[in-house]
Structure 1
Amino acid sequence: MDLDTVRTFVAAADAGQFQEAAAELAVTQQAVSKRIAALERKLGVRLFTRTARGAGLTIDGQAFLPHARELLRAAERAVASVRPADRPLRVDVLTSRSAQSGLLRGFHSAHPEIDLDVVMLFDIEKAVGAIRSGEIDASFRAVAAPGRPLPEDIASVRVLDEPLQFLTGPAHALAGARSVTLARLVGHRIWMPGVVPGTEWTAYYDDLVAEFGLTIEATGPNFGSDALLDTIADTPALATFMGADSRLVWPAGHGLRRIPVTDPTPVYPHSLLWHRDNPHPALATLRAHLAATAAGRDAVGTWMPDWVLPR
């Protein structure tokens, strides 16, 4: 159903005269008459009767009027739902406990007036596809793994270099260390069941292993961070890597240790991705916030893969 004809019908019903409706809609009286006639043909009923004082609604016109008003309200809601200034900023983070989520929480604290929708997509291909389709406005990712450059319409900026820490249970051989060098980790079993082939974080750890001769095992199902921490706490031979800014809580009886890694410190690069033509006004606010609060990028004594995009 053509909304212009519905809008004309409502204007004429409210005005009681086609001439006044025409003035309100900035069209000719003849255009109003043609639109009303087209709507009547579509519905198969008469909507108006001519009176000495103008145009009055028929019984069918009275019945149709509230529905016509609702059609126009629905159209307004539909337009507002995709108008950037009238909808929440949709941002993708990998997990709710990650450093990325912490960055977004910091933004929300600084700008509580901005509505946010937080989504969690698994891999970078899905995230980039969602950015390009308009499903989301931005995504936090590590970019760009070898052989997987970003499309030209996707922009990115590195916003955080997150140091990795060595996480052990209380009985691990290195549990008492204040810090450990990467060389000292050679030969120790580092268990990371969340390392999935084809993901950007797997590309990162593949390069870390190749560069420093480490042993990372991805065997067994990934039951999530809670199960990982339970296993590390109970198994002296296993340890794992954990981002320094990852927010994890474990039972006091686990006795887990988060140990800084040095010489060099491996850092995981977090970047913000967005579409170059995205008009959402809050996206510019998010980028400005991250630019003002970003810290620890390209610090001396750190390591990351060569494929990581510069700042």
Structure 2
Amino acid sequence: MTPTQLRAFAATVRLGSVKAAAADLEVTEAAVSMHIAHLRKELGDRLFTRVASGLVFTPGGLRLASRAIEMLGLQDLTVREVSQAGSGRRLLRLAASSLFAEHAAPGLIDLFAGRADDLSVELSVHNAQRFAHLLVTRAVDAAIGPRPATLDESLSCTPFLNYQVIAVVGGAHPLAGRQASAAELQEQTWLLGPSAASRTGLVPSVLRRLGIPERNQRIYQSHAAAVEDAKRGGGLALAVSFSVGKDLAAGDLRQVAGPHLPARGSWHLLALAGQEAASTASELRRFVATPRATQAMLRGSGVTAGRFRPAVHVTLWT
């Protein structure tokens, strides 16, 4: 078995067809079929058969599917560890939801990476629904975003920061500073960041609970761009509260209250459980809940330890 053959089979299993696997791997369908044929011959198992509804996998094919993902992940990990050993540097590959990546990741990464001269952090933005797959296949070492609806036992989940999403408008907007009804909110133009395009997370949840029609949603390349348009009177934006504190204090933005607003959420760090976790992911898991890390995420990393005085918040949970 070669890595190329295993990669072709794993893509076929994941996507449900040879055609989709070929497109994903950017090769021809004939190449994918050839790799699978070699596996069938070597293992003495058909692995799967085609039926009208798709592919039906044999017990051996299902076993190979799980092993292929594990073997490819270990191969990538080995290559990376050898490269790091040769260069004398360590690498943390971090996946994040768009909301965390824009508002809290810069301060966290700057402070975390600055603690060690041999550490580099590579950040990529993904839909939170892909976190489990990215971790299991070892495409990333850790992921930060909303807690998954279902959590596989192979993954650990560490909550570390609560946050609040509020609705804001420009100072001259008719809804500025007042309580709005559900009907009024549904009629507004909503200026949204890329997190609104996901199916998971706090922002999509708020939009669903409010029943905001898609025709009234405008999605921008960044959450900051959506908020800037709201300042100019373009409509109503959803923003992380700590990111717009100065604009609210200056009167450039006004908060709008209403059903399901404000909304509260929390960010979680996901990694492989136990000894399977990368050492850099374990370091980040211990660091991310410290007061210094919290300060860096909320305000950036440019505050010295001597001037850091964390506020005390008491939350009652039922």
TM-score between both structures, scaled by the size of structure 2: 0.52
Q: Which residue in 2 is equivalent to 1:127?
A: 131
Shift of 1:159: 0.9
1:286: which partner in 2? 284
1:256 to 252, 258, 272: 252
The yes-or-no answer on 1:88 pairing with 2:91 is: yes
Q: Do the aligned partners of 1:169 and 1:235 also contact (CA within 8 Å) in 2?
A: yes
Q: Which residue of 1 is the match for residue 156 of structure 2?
A: 155
Report the residue type matching 1:167 in the other structure: V
**One-letter amino acid matched to 1:299:** T
> How much identity, in percent, do the aligned residues show?
15
Give the CA deviation at 1:205.
4.1
- 2: CA distance between counterparts of 1:164 and 1:131? 27
After superposition, the Cα gap between the structure-2 partners of 1:223 and 1:114, relative to the gap in structure 1 and judged at 3 Å, is same
Task: Decide which structure has greater helix share.
Answer: 2
Structure 1: segments with no counterpart, 5+ residues: 1-75, 303-311
Distance 1:153 1:102, change over 3 A: same
Cα distance, 1:264–1:172 mapped onto 2, change above 3 Å: closer
C-alpha distance 247-98 of structure 1, shift in aligned 2 (>3 A): farther
The aligned counterpart of 1:118 is: 122
Quick one: distance in 2 between partners of 1:138 and 1:297?
Answer: 28
3-state secondary structure, aligned to 1:166: strand
CA offset digits 1:120-176 (Å, max 9, x no partner): 23212333222112221101010123xxx122211111111111233211211343x
Alpha-carbon distance between aligned partners in 2 of 1:196 and 1:165, rounded to the nearest angstrom: 14
The equivalent of 2:200 in structure 1 is 200
Which amino acid is 1:290 matched to? Answer: V
Unaligned runs of 5+ in 2: 1-77, 295-310
| C-alpha contact (below 8 Å) 1:166/1:239 kept by paired residues | yes
Quote the Cα distance in structure 1 between the aligned partners of 2:219 and 2:194.
8
Corresponding residue SS for 1:291: coil
Matches within 5 A, 1:1-311: 80-81=82-83, 86-95=89-98, 96-109=101-114, 111-113=115-117, 115-145=119-149, 149-175=150-176, 177=177, 187-188=184-185, 189=188, 190-192=190-192, 194=194, 196=196, 198-201=198-201, 204-205=202-203, 207-208=205-206, 213=210, 215=212, 219-235=217-233, 238-246=235-243, 256-257=252-253, 259=255, 265-276=262-273, 277-293=275-291, 299-300=315-316
Query: What TM-score comes out, normalization by structure 1 length?
Result: 0.53
Residue correspondences, number = 212
Cα RMSD of the aligned pairs, angstroms, is 4.2
CA distance in 2, matches of 1:260, 1:235: 14
SS at match of 1:200: coil
Q: What CA deviation, in whole Å up to 9, does each residue of 1:29-70 have, x standing for no partner?
A: xxxxxxxxxxxxxxxxxxxxxxxxxxxxxxxxxxxxxxxxxx
